[in-house]
Amino acid sequence: MGLAKIFFFSALSGLSFAVSYRTSGDASDVGFAFVLLNWLNQYGDSQIQALVTIASIVVTIIFIYGLSRFIRQIYDERRVGILTAILGFAGSFIILSSSQEQAYFIFLGIGLLVIGIIFTFLGSKRS
């Protein structure tokens, strides 16, 4: 089940990175979370600001722990794990960051995800 976790986490990381890349533009492109945090910072009292800061620290620690487990799983799987992580991340990032006029990038991203799924199934049968 290690390769499936690697593929799933890397695909979600690619989606997250692509969304953050797309929302880092003008003020009209900024996501809801950024607007909400900015609003809390401007209009919230000091207790709410402290609570948001503590929650952000806790979420960051949990993410760092999950990322370290992810890297350890990739190390356990060696080359197949690295290839699966790259295919999952690149496929989802390319799909989400391409525009509708660039259909060949969407097909490339889908192809990378399919190849990653194939490596996941073949690698899990190997172990």
Show the domain range for 82.
2-126
Q: Which residues of the chain have pLDDT under 70?
A: 1, 22-37, 124-127
Predicted pLDDT of residue 81:
83
User: How many domains, in total, are found in the chain?
Assistant: 1
Predicted pLDDT of residue 27:
46
Q: Is 52 exposed, middle or buried (0-12, 13-18, 19+ CB in 10 A)?
A: middle
Residues 6+ apart with CB under 8 A from 21: 97
Per the CB < 8 A criterion, the answer to whether 93 and 18 are in contact is: yes
